Every structure is written in structure tokens, then in C-alpha cells.
Structure 1
Amino acid sequence: MKKTLILLLLIGLAIPGKLFAQQNRFSGWAALFHTQKFSDKWGMSFDAQFRSANHYDYLQNVLLRPSVNYYFDNNKMAALGYAYISANNHLPTGAKTFRPESRIWQQLIINTKISKAATLQHRLRLEQRFLGNTTNKTDHYFAQRVRYFARAVIPLKKAETFTKGPFVGLQNEVMVNVQNNHKVNNHFFDQNRAYAAVGYRVHKKADVEVGYLNQFVQQTAGSYFNHVLQAAIYTRF
């Protein structure tokens, strides 16, 4: 388990040192993640996220993301989903912009045990992105992105199974542009999100947590770090 945790931390820090002298932003994210099984093989997921602008000035992003899930067995699942993201921005001139985005996405999740009660999830996702153009409401840019995500949930109390109690969550996600990056930021690398949280499992079907997320974003010209305070609820039925 120690090797796995060290690997997660190294992934989160695997950004060239020259990039650390970038501008910093501060924001807050709130999220709800729900998974629902209809049978042994079929189910659905839904998450809703709300993200503030820099210095918590206003609501910048709303993300809604449903999917249909197929379970190969107890620890492997594939999904086909859709996502809608609204992006609101306030320019220094006082003007306001709105850029919507729609996505179709596919993913594979593999859950593994790293101890009797601790778990590690691997997730690989491919996204087809349709990015709205703020200068022409009828125009959309198309791009594709690959995302790899790893998350460990480590109970703070020793137990054979983890159904209730405090835990630590560690995760990292890296995103790369694999098609039409000139429509996004002109780079293969898109962003990285490293996250550490403390949480409480209310019962085996619900978790709550609060944590710090470090988001590194590559832009067309320059880059920045977004320091995020995140609160999340996870439900599983």
C-alpha cells in the first residue's frame, strides 16, 4: 500500500519544475457523485459539480454528467455518458462571456484492493468535446481528450471491511489532448489535478469529504495553478 500511495503522490508532482513559477488562483468546488445499480450487469452514474471563479467571486462552472454503466464483474465497469458544462467569465472590462460545452464520453473503471479495507480505483476516460464559441452561438469546436484518474480510499481505523468511519482520500488525474489541440490550448498536455481529502463514511452507501485540490492548467500562452477547496458527497445504491 505504501508503494501505491507514493506513486499517487509522484504522479501529482510530475510536472516540470520550471512550471511552478506560475500565477495562482483560488476557488471552491462542490460536488455530488451518485452510482445506481439496476441489476448485476447494468446501472447508471450521475455527478453534478459547481465551481467558483478566482477568489470565489461568482459561480463560473456548472457540470452535469450522467452515464449508463455496464459491470463486467464486481471490480470492472464500463460506461457511456454525456456531460454538459457551462463556463461563465467576467472580463477585466466588465463584460461577461458564456461558453457552453457538450461531451460524449466512454470510460473503463477497475477497482482493486490495496489492503483488507483500503481501495484503489483506476479510471481511463475518452472524451469527445464540443466547445461552444463565445463569438458565434451556433458554432462549436471539436476536440478529443484522454483522462487517467487514480483514487485511493484509506480507512483510519483497522477493520476487515470498511462500512463506517473516517478515511483519507488521495487521488490524481492527468488530462491530455489527443485530437485538435489547436482548438483548446495548442498543447498535448491539458491539465493535472492532485487531491487530498479527509472524509467520513456515514454507512457503506454514503461518504462525505472535504479536501484540497491542486489544479495545474496549461493555456495557449502560459499556465496557472488553481488552489481549490472542495466538498463532496458520494452515494452508492
Structure 2
Amino acid sequence: MHKLGRFFFAVLMMLVLTISISRAQVSDLGNWLIYFGNQDFGNGKWVWHNEIQYRNYNFLGNTEQLLLRTGVGKYVSDRNSLVSAGYTFVRTRPLVELDGVVDVNDAGKFQEHRTWQQFLTRHHVGRVFFTHRYRFEQRFFDNNDFRLRARYFLALHVPLNNMSMTPKTYYLSFYNEIFMNTQVENNPALFDRNRLYGAIGYQFNPSIRMEVGMMRQNVNNNLFSRNQLQFVVFNNLPIKRKNQ
């Protein structure tokens, strides 16, 4: 674990030293600090999803979004498939382009409330572990705008020093997620965005793992497509019942 800590610290210091940080304008590389929690209620059937994402336009500072997501899910097949639904709150400082310069539009900041439903399923082929997630969102904006969006997420985990995702395992993580607007008359285009991600991770124990990676987000306007460094923590510690 000490070697892992030194590794992540070295990666962080290298990025700090090589990236020019500008708080006044948007840099070419931002960062997302992400926490995912999936807490089993103790019966092996129901889980509570809790999530925090703090997104920055720059490597440090210059907030893009704060996203808070929660929901409840139920396993439908040997804990490999999960049906969930819940609520998301998002506060955003959008980008604007003026004379070829991209910067934050503080006057246009807005809030968004979402309800969502999803189906998630997992399987593996050899030592490659796949996750498929199908999510549908109803998006309510504070200017009374309403939009519908569908998302498909495909992830792969490849353990490096073990055959499966057991404790003390280093692994590679990849995902691609495509977002499609399904109510195009109120949206700029059918295609909303695509996220492509690659990372290295470490499984500390059956419930806790961490990743450091890079995500490329492409949107309709190429001026606003960005690279985002991601630090992600996954927590699957169960919620024990009082009589346990």
C-alpha cells in the first residue's frame, strides 16, 4: 500500500509540475474528483447509491460543476444485474466562446434537477470484466426547460497481478459512454456527448478501490470538448442492520 501511495503522489506531482494552471481562464486540462458509493442494506438484494462529483475546468480551481446523485437499486440476478432509480442535482458554470477565446460564463450559471432510471449488468470473459449500463434521464432546468436523455456506458476492468478483482490487485480500467437526446425538438442535436476514459486502479479490499485516469469528453461544439483528469474512489461497504 505504501508503494501505491508513492505512485499516486508521483503522478500528481508530475501533473502539477507540467501543467500550466490558470484560474482566470479555462485551461486545456481540468480535473474531476469523484466518489461512488453503493451500500448493500444487508439483505443482499437492495443497495443505496450515493455519488459526489466535483468537476473543475482547470487542474486546480475554476469550478465547472457540482453533481450529487442518489438512488436505490435491487439485484435481479445473482448480483450481476441491478435495476435502479433515483435523483440528481447539478449546479453548472457553463462555457462561452467570445472572439475565439473559451471562458466561463458566470452570468449563465444554472441548476438542474434530474430523475433517472437504469439497468446495469456485469459479466466477464477470462480476466476481462465487462459492465454495461443503460440509463434514462428526465432533466428539469431552472429556466423551466425540460429535456430527455438516454445514455449507454460500457466499461472494462483488466486485473494485472491477479486473475480477478481480488484485494491488493492493480488493474486497468476503460470505459466509453455515449449520451443521446431523445427529445430533439427542444435540444440542439440528437448527439449530446461522448466520454472515453482510461485509468490505472487498485483494489484495496472487497469494498474499496481507487482509480487515476484521463477522460476525453467530446460535445457538439468542438471548442468545448475537453480532457479531464479523474481521481475516483469506489466504496461498496455494506450497511449492516441493527441486529447484526
User: Common fold, TM-score beyond 0.5?
Assistant: yes
Cα 1:111–1:148 shift into 2, 3 Å: same
The residue aligned with 2:38 is 35
Letter of the 2:171 partner, please give it: F
Cα pair 2:93 2:104 within 8 Å, conserved? no
User: Is structure 2 residue 157 aligned with structure 1 residue 119?
Assistant: no
Contact kept in structure 2, 1:26 and 1:56, CA below 8 Å: no
Deviation at 1:56, TM superposition (A): 4.7
Shift of 1:182: 4.4
Q: 1:83 aligns with which of 88, 92, 98?
A: 88
Indicate the RMSD between aligned Cα atoms, in angstroms: 2.2
The residue that corresponds to 2:215 in the other structure is: 213
Shift of 1:89: 4.3
Check whether the contact 1:25–1:225 (CA below 8 A) recurs between aligned residues: no
Q: What TM-score does the superposition give when structure 1 sets the normalisation length?
A: 0.79
Indicate how the Cα distance of structure 1 residues 119 and 99 shifts in structure 2: closer, same or farther if over 3 A, else same. Answer: same
Pick closer, same or farther for the CA change 1:120–1:132 going to 2, 3 Å: same
Equivalences for 1:1-237 in 2 at 5 Å?
25-38=28-41, 39-54=43-58, 56-73=60-77, 74-89=79-94, 96-115=107-126, 117-133=127-143, 140-159=144-163, 162-179=166-183, 181-184=184-187, 186-219=188-221, 224-237=224-237
Query: What does residue 13 of structure 1 align with?
Result: none
Task: Return the offset for 1:100.
Answer: 0.2
Cα distance between partner residues in 1 of 2:224 and 2:104:
21
- Unaligned runs of at least 5 residues, structure 2: 1-26, 97-102, 238-244
CA distance in structure 1 between the aligned counterparts of 2:172 and 2:106, rounded to whole angstroms: 42
Q: Helix, strand or coil: the match of 2:150? A: strand
The change in CA–CA distance for 1:178 and 1:25 in structure 2 (over 3 A counts) is farther
Of all paired residues, the percent bearing the same amino acid is: 28
Give me the whole-angstrom Cα distance separating, in 2, the residues matched to 1:109 and 1:90. Answer: 32
For each residue in 1:176-201, what CA deviation from the matched residue of structure 2 results, as whole angstroms up to 9, or x when unmatched? 0001x3434x2000000000000111
- Matched residues, number: 203
Name the structure where strand makes up a greater proportion of residues: 1
Q: Give the 3-state SS of the residue equivalent to 2:167 in structure 1.
A: coil
Q: Distance in 2 between matches of 1:85 and 1:103?
A: 8
Q: 1: CA distance between counterparts of 2:178 and 2:59?
A: 24
Provide the rounded CA distance (Å) in 1 between the counterparts of 2:93 and 2:112: 11
Distance in 1, matches of 2:39 and 2:106, equals 41
* TM-superposition CA deviations, 1:145-199 (whole Å, max 9, x none): 00000111111113356232211101010000001x3434x20000000000001
- In structure 2, C-alpha distance between the alignment counterparts of 1:151 and 1:234, rounded to whole Å: 15
1:74-103 Cα shifts (integer Å, max 9, x gaps): 201000110000012476698533200000
Give the direction of change, closer, same or farther, for the CA distance of 1:89–1:119 in structure 2 (3 Å limit).
same
Q: What is the TM-score of this pair, normalised by structure 2? A: 0.77
Report the CA distance between 1:42 and its aligned residue: 1.1
